[in-house]
Homo-oligomer: A and B are copies of this chain.
């Protein structure tokens, strides 16, 4: 029997997230009869695939380009030309004062966040610990196990505001949000996976001020946001300042397999991430940078995001909402987080008593995969243990094929209704 370290035990003892990932993996391998509203795979948008095909053809047709694509170790913080292009793109479009020294590329934003979280929290010299504070639970489940130390993540229960039916929205509860010396960074998704929440401009400025006052960075995970991929349906301002780390990704452009994340960060953070990346990963995959660089240089990516990607997801979202209205009707109480961005609908069933783990199990038996919501509420305190809301939410991927979404939402309605009756 192989003996694993504490680092390893986490990954070998079946944590909730891994069980879910295995379910998804198995379903992906034999998808017959399965309805996959669980994973986070972006949609395959034909118009975007045509762009990638064209870019690859260009690369193939140019002398020396293929060599640069596959045969060259890049600098561990990203290709210099890509970093220059990205810095210039952001300054040009948002008037942010930054340069290539503020850009660091990683092998996906998951890998970038792992490095960032563990640079800014965990064990510090002198034996004290620092934590990452997520000011607005629920947050991305993929963060939950990324801390190298136990208890490295804390999160803060939101204000839950019911809006015009069927919607509700989470807001940061600033009334009791304190940022003590044990906090190493604030972090929030904008738009948020799983809820589709988009922090208001006011919330972002408030958080940025709290971070600045505490002498720690604010991390904004912008994987779905502006300027790309723009799966963001609210007229909010993109935000960055020199105390902010903005995490961006090429995945939701339709390039998840390229594994390319970009952090826009204070220079000291960018440089530390690049160094840590060198030690852990040597360097990054080059494909994503090579495909996208010219589209950043000529601002085409802005247009594609606004005119292709955003309308595509908006139409899928609106279709899913129509199906919900039609299929759920008045059969049982439900709410949906106002879907302001990202590729998910976040359902809240306020009278559900069986818990979403049990609901998940029953849905899986009927061939529907979703993600039960409880895993997204990591980092809450003991005082939040009896907050029933956290066992009443479900994340549903809305951007799968319309017929799949419709069939899935019907099964969801049937089984929630059944659970409510029993």
Contact = CB atoms under 8 A, between A and B. Distances in A.
Interface in A355-377: none
A275 B2 CA distance: 15
In the complex, the count of this chain's copies comes to: 2
Contact of A6 (B41, B107, B125): B125
Nearest to A250: B70
Size bracket of the A interface: 35 or more
A10 B279 CA distance: 10
A71 B56 contact: no
A99 interface: no
A71 B255 contact: yes
A395 interface: no
A257 B11 contact: no
Interface in A265-324: 266, 268-269, 271-272, 275-276, 278-287, 291
A325 interface: no
Interface stretch (A111-119, A188-196, A334-342, A407-415): A111-119
A50 to B, nearest CB: 9
Contact of A287 (B107, B282, B285): B285
A60 interface: yes
Contacts of A257: 69-74, 283, 285-287
Contacts of A107: 107, 111, 259, 281, 285
Contact of A60 (B56, B148, B287): B56
Given A44-B67, A60-B57, A11 B125 contact: no
Contacts of A268: 1-2, 12
A21 interface: yes
Contact of A122 (B6, B11, B28, B272): B6
A124 B73 contact: no
Contacts of A75: 25, 28-29
A24 to B, nearest CB: 9
A258 B280 contact: no
A330 interface: no
Looking at chain A's contact residues, is the secondary structure mostly helix, strand, loop, or mixed? helix
Contacts of A266: 2
Interface in A85-126: 107-108, 110-111, 114, 118-125
Nearest to A146: B279
Given A8-B272, A70-B255, A259-B284, A60 B53 contact: yes
A311 to B, nearest CB: 18
B5 A122 contact: yes
A66 interface: yes
Contacts of A279: 10-11, 17, 114, 142, 145-146
Contacts of A148: 7, 148
Interface string A1-39: 111111111111000011001000100110000000001
B285 A258 contact: yes
A418 B92 CA distance: 53
19 contacts: A3-B184, A4-B120, A5-B119, A25-B75, A41-B72, A42-B71, A44-B72, A49-B71, A56-B60, A70-B257, A70-B258, A71-B256, A72-B257, A73-B257, A107-B281, A108-B281, A110-B280, A257-B283, A258-B286
- Going nearest first, the 7 A-B pairs with the smallest beta carbon separation are A257-B286, A8-B119, A11-B275, A110-B282, A285-B285, A5-B122, A11-B276
